[in-house]
Amino acid sequence: MERRILDLTGERRNLRKDRGSLAVTTEEGETRVPFDDIEAVIVNARQATYTNEAVLELSRRGIPLVACDKSHRPVAWLWPAEGNFEQTRRMAAQKNAKTGLENRLWARLVKAKIAGQAAVLEWRGIRAGALKSLARAVRPGDPGNCEARAAARYWPLAFGPGFTRDRQGGGINGLLNYGYIVVRSCCARNVMAAGLHPSIGLFHKNRFNAFCLIDDLMEPFRPLVDRVVLELVDRGLNSVEPESKEALVGLLAREVESEQGFQPLSRAMETASRSLAQAFVEDKLALVLPKTDTFFR
């Protein structure tokens, strides 16, 4: 059974540990969810409180607790102090990775992302030859800035000529923000479980961002979120509401094609995180990603 992402919205919410479950109290009553079934906890509630036991248990199990602002943008995360049993070795290899390896890994991620964006356009019946050419042109470190050039073409074609990507915005941007939170949360859990440090990125190096590596690794998965958001827009769902949230959270259980066959997206992200750790330790391009130029089964 795939683990669930708990989304806490509304006004007052209290989280406490109740034996092997997370108990969530609202105005309507209390709900208990086994910790074994939880992938991440996303908090959008205006007034949320937590018992220390609940926080400790989430941390012990490596379950991200994500606090979001009114734009559904993450502003704080709970990160366990202890992770994979090889954490020290893998973090040392990550920190000491050669620039050449980092550049080749980043190129692999950028190529996969642009290929995914091209697939979104083709799914919409839009010619994507320019994006495919940019994907082929990516070089180690992306010195030609193919990622940004692809984005400049992609957004108005996929979402309409008047659309502007806004990380603070509502409406369709709010849907994208929420979907990226879902993917980012799953990616965070798997990166930490793989014994890697989320702050030490390949390309993202912002000293104010504690999750640079996660933002690197999730890049190829963003077009999958875009695809689901477009599906929602086609159904007349243009804002973050219960039905659209359910579809975006359900993204993690949808199956994508990989080297191991079809598997849930959450498992593909687990494979990507473990293979990235292997790439650092063995100093080789061992990163395994799903086929982003195809979509869900």
Instruction: State whether 30 and 158 are in the same domain.
Output: no
Residues ≥6 apart with Cβ < 8 Å to 231? 247
Strands 255-258 and 261-264, by their bridges, are: antiparallel
* Within-domain flag for 81: no
Instruction: State which residues form the domain around 58.
Output: 4-63
Instruction: State whether 223 and 109 are in the same domain.
Output: yes
* Within-domain flag for 297: no
* Within-domain flag for 79: no
Query: pLDDT tier at 213 (50, 70, 90 boundaries)?
Result: very high
pLDDT tens-place string over residues 81-134: 665 567 888 999 999 999 999 999 999 999 999 999 999 999 999 999 999 999
Residue type, 236: G
Instruction: State whether 38 and 129 are in the same domain.
Output: no
Instruction: State whether 99 and 20 are in the same domain.
Output: no
pLDDT tens-place string over residues 191-200: 888 888 888 9
Instruction: State whether 41 and 103 are in the same domain.
Output: no
Instruction: State whether 187 and 262 are in the same domain.
Output: yes
Mean pLDDT across 41-57? 89
Instruction: State whether 31 and 165 are in the same domain.
Output: no
SS3 state of residue 23: strand
Closest CA to 230 of 185, 282, 172: 172
Query: Domain tally for the chain?
Result: 2
Final residue belonging to a domain, choices 16, 31, 63: 63
